[in-house]
Amino acid sequence: MVSIGALIVSILGYTYQHYRSEAKQNERLAKLEERTKELVGASERLAKIETKMDLLWQAVEKNITRMLHSPTHLRKDGLLDRFPDLSTPELKELEEILRKEQESLERKNPHNFKLLAYALLIGRIHILQLERNEK
């Protein structure tokens, strides 16, 4: 009798542990599914932001580079014409040229609208350099 009782208690204990473990797994799966949906939503939002940023930078590259052309600086104009398809050293060179011109213009006329063009293009150069370093 005792052995049958012990067997029943053992079976009940095992069954309890099994279903308790299964319930925890189901709970974990539900949480995982919820987090997966959140990640998919975040990924979709990120893709939309990236698309908008790409459009912004295309406009910046196209229009700002034209604004910064000057007949007296042929090297800069050549780099601007090929922007953003420049090598890493060329990007650094263009950034140095732009920074010097920006600083000079800022000393002469701190309210000149071209300062924004310089800031945007230098910012774009930094982004391109970061993207290249990530690859």
Kindly state whether residue 8 falls inside one of the protein's structural domains: no
Kindly state whether residue 45 falls inside one of the protein's structural domains: no
Tally of domains in the chain: 1
pLDDT in tens, 42-78: 889 989 998 998 888 888 888 899 899 888 889 999 9
Total residues belonging to the chain: 135
Confidence at residue 62, expressed as pLDDT on a 0 to 100 scale: 85
User: CB within 8 A of 93, min separation 6: which ones?
Assistant: 75, 79
Backbone φ and ψ for 112, nearest 5 degrees, come out as: -70, 135
Kindly state whether residue 124 falls inside one of the protein's structural domains: yes
Q: Is 110 helix (H, G, I), strand (E, B) or coil?
A: coil
Kindly state whether residue 114 falls inside one of the protein's structural domains: yes
Confidence at residue 132, expressed as pLDDT on a 0 to 100 scale: 85
Range of the structural domain that residue 92 is part of: 68-135
What is the 8-class DSSP label of residue 85? S
In percent, the amount of the chain with pLDDT more than 70 equals 88
The answer to pTM > 0.85 is no
* Nearest C-alpha neighbor of 66 from the set 123, 126, 121: 121
Kindly state whether residue 58 falls inside one of the protein's structural domains: no
Kindly state whether residue 86 falls inside one of the protein's structural domains: yes
Cα–Cα dist 112/119, whole Å:
12
Per-10-residue mean pLDDT, the chain, length 135:
65 69 78 85 89 87 88 92 93 97 94 92 93 77
* Nearest C-alpha neighbor of 91 from the set 36, 35, 129: 129
Confidence at residue 79, expressed as pLDDT on a 0 to 100 scale: 96
Structure tokens at 53: 């940023």
Q: Is 109 helix (H, G, I), strand (E, B) or coil?
A: coil
Kindly state whether residue 33 falls inside one of the protein's structural domains: no
Kindly state whether residue 107 falls inside one of the protein's structural domains: yes
Confidence at residue 1, expressed as pLDDT on a 0 to 100 scale: 55
